[in-house]
């Protein structure tokens, strides 16, 4: 097993997740099986109880794990399926050690950070690195580990110490450290400054880890002199200083890394036996990057939510929209609308924001109401749904968005109320008490638009994260009026998919399809929204959906097997 540790310096949020994902993508493209682990030094057991303003969205895995959004990047870039144990937190480590202590596993010894906590970290990493994340069930050969936060943080010290010991346990030829640092360029001088990187590397070396590669994040490409200066003061060769400047698309990051010889370096440094064909396998990334830069036509989607001040709050939603827009050759414009600004109360309190919000909504080609929690802003979401229904604007409601679509129809058409609390919800505890993870949804109608978009599948397996559900006892009130529940769970007790008849595209899903969207396999509900917003849905359906989103590309290009060949990407022909 080869381990690649990605650390960060100077500031957090520097792009370690994208760098780690890109490194994994390149190695996978060389024929290796790759897995990934994200370490978060906070004391929370998982990300489930966070506000999206803390660390961005909460990403949900197949097994119901509520994890950091970086695991979403790993899954999208590497096309793998991770588990909750691929996200390691201080809380999980301390909980496992304390449980062992209570069980008497330490035989009366004093339990300390070193060696007990550090040993537990190393054991967790070694154990999880062997878990298969590909469909073929083969054990991974490379494990990319991202350490969250910034070198020097008090909370990450036990992890740094654990990996200081770990590098000797697994031997030098099996362990490599990539340090991601910021090279700022002040507007006053325009000069690229290396001092923050020098200080960051010095601190890391003082803690016992010497970076093998220094990845410099900067706004423009690094000057040769700057690269040599970093090399000289940070005790690495110039070829070990990698520049990742700001680019038009994150799909270009693996190409940037590969262009700077990262594959050759890993082969020498880690004695990797690769098939050495990354360029052939990275064709899809170059194709997507070039296509993204060449797009001319544009479509706009109004995203009506309550966490719109931070785009990371809806990271997977935005990615799912981007995947679908790219598939139909359209540029995507996302209009972020704070749902509270659409409410009648906002007209009195902040009339300017109220009119701006409604102007954004009315000028959008489609409306998306994503998931969320709490009462604040729900009336504004209902107003947006009401407008989309009456004006026949393409609409997609996800989780809470679907429930509010039911509420809106119940309130204005059926004159009844409909949403109930989940039967298994534990009112005394918040963490991990929702309906979580991959569940099966059966289509109850052969004429369903969404079923056609899924390739006329009889069922779909998608990820859930919700507490409330639609009351099945009242569904006949809706279906008599053209509001159909076309997807239900295996028992027929949970309403999973809604569609409104005689509408361009009015769809709601109880699950979160954005979590399984991939760059070359866009999520069907989002794909349908973009098709409808661009006026191409009916044409697509009339062609019999021969190019279903899940089958848009070569059958083998979506395979998680490293032996599969990447053929030329073929996006749907919608002309």
Q: What single-letter DSSP state applies at residue 145?
A: E
Q: Taking a C-beta distance cutoff of 8 angstroms, is the pair 409, 386 a contact?
A: no
Question: Strands 241-245 and 213-218, how do they pair?
Answer: parallel
324-to-388, 494, 548, 549 alpha-carbon distances in Å: 20, 28, 12, 9
Residue 67: strand pairing partners: 59
- Phi, psi values for residue 305, rounded to 5°: -145, -175
Alpha-carbon distance 296 to 331, whole Å? 7
Q: Taking a C-beta distance cutoff of 8 angstroms, is the pair 525, 450 a contact?
A: yes
Q: What single-letter DSSP state applies at residue 306?
A: S
Alpha-carbon distance 539 to 545, whole Å? 9
- Could you give the residue numbers annotated as active site? 399, 512, 514
Alpha-carbon distance 106 to 58, whole Å? 35
410-to-346, 387, 402, 484 alpha-carbon distances in Å: 24, 15, 12, 13
Using CA atoms of 164, 170, 176, 181 in order, give the dihedral in degrees to the nearest 10: -20
Q: Taking a C-beta distance cutoff of 8 angstroms, is the pair 79, 101 a contact?
A: no
Burial (0-12, 13-18, 19+ Cβ within 10 Å), 495 = buried
Strand runs labelled E in 414-538: 419-421, 435-443, 459-466, 468-470, 483-488, 495-500, 506-509
Helix (H) or strand (E) run with residue 146 in it: strand 142-147
Q: Taking a C-beta distance cutoff of 8 angstroms, is the pair 121, 156 a contact?
A: no
Q: Taking a C-beta distance cutoff of 8 angstroms, is the pair 55, 47 a contact?
A: yes
Alpha-carbon distance 432 to 425, whole Å? 10
Helix (H) or strand (E) run with residue 204 in it: helix 195-206
Residue 175: strand pairing partners: 3
CB count within 10 Å of CB 255 equals 20
Residues 6+ apart with CB under 8 A from 483: 406, 409, 413, 498, 500, 501
Alpha-carbon distance 160 to 150, whole Å? 11
Residue 217: strand pairing partners: 182, 244
- Phi, psi values for residue 488, rounded to 5°: -140, 165
């Amino acid at each position: 097993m080869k381990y690649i540790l990605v650390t960060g310096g100077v500031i957090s949020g520097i792009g370690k997740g994208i760098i780690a994902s890109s490194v994994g993508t390149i190695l996978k493209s060389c024929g290796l099986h790759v897995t990934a682990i994200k370490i978060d030094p906070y004391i929370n057991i998982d990300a489930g109880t966070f506000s999206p303003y803390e660390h961005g969205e909460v990403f949900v895995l197949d097994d119901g794990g509520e994890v950091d959004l970086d695991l979403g990047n790993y899954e999208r870039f590497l096309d793998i399926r991770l588990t909750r144990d691929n996200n390691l937190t201080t809380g999980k480590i301390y909980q496992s050690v304390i449980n062992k202590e209570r069980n008497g596993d330490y035989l009366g010894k004093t339990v300390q950070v070193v060696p007990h906590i550090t040993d537990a970290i190393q054991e967790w990493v070694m154990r999880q690195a062997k878990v298969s994340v590909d469909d073929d069930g083969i054990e991974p050969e490379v494990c990319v580990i991202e350490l969250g936060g910034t070198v020097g943080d008090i909370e990450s010290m036990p992890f740094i110490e654990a990996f200081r010991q770990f590098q000797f346990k697994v031997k030098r030829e099996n362990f490599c450290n990539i340090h991601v640092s910021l090279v700022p360029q002040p507007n006053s001088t325009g000069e690229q400054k290396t001092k923050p990187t020098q200080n960051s590397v010095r601190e890391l070396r003082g803690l016992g880890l010497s970076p093998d590669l220094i990845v410099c994040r900067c706004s423009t490409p690094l000057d040769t002199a700057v690269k040599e200066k970093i090399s000289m003061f940070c005790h690495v060769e110039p070829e070990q200083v990698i520049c990742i400047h700001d680019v038009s698309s994150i799909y270009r990051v693996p190409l940037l890394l590969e262009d700077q010889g990262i594959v050759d370096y890993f082969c020498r440094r880690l004695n990797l036996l690769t098939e050495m064909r990354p360029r052939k396998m990275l064709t899809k990334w170059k194709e997507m990057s070039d296509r993204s830069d060449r797009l001319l036509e544009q479509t706009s989607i109004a995203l009506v939510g309550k966490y719109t001040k931070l785009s990371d709050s809806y990271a997977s939603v935005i990615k799912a929209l981007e995947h679908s827009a790219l598939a139909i050759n359209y540029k995507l414009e996302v209009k972020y609308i704070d749902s509270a600004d659409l409410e009648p109360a906002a007209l009195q309190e902040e009339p300017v924001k109220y009119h701006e919000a409604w102007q954004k909504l009315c000028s959008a080609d489609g409306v998306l109401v994503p998931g969320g929690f709490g009462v604040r802003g729900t009336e504004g979401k209902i107003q947006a749904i009401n407008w989309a229904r009456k004006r026949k604007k393409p609409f997609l409601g996800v989780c809470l968005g679907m429930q509010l679509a039911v509420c809106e129809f119940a309130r204005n058409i059926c004159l009844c109320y409909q949403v109930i609390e989940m039967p298994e919800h534990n009112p005394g505890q918040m963490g991990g008490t929702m309906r979580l993870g991959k569940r099966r949804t059966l289509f109850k109608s052969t004429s369903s638009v969404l079923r056609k978009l899924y390739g006329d599948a009889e069922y779909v397996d998608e990820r859930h994260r919700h507490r409330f559900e639609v009351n099945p006892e009242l569904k006949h009130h809706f279906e008599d009026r053209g509001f159909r529940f076309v997807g239900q769970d295996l028992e027929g007790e949970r309403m999973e998919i809604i569609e409104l008849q005689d509408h361009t595209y009015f769809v709601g899903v109880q699950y979160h399809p954005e979590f399984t969207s991939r760059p070359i396999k866009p999520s069907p509900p989002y794909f349908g929204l973009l098709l409808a917003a661009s006026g191409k849905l009916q044409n697509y359906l009339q062609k019999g959906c021969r190019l279903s989103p899940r089958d848009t590309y070569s059958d083998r290009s979506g395979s998680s097997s490293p032996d599969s060949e990447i053929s030329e990407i073929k996006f749907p022909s919608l002309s």
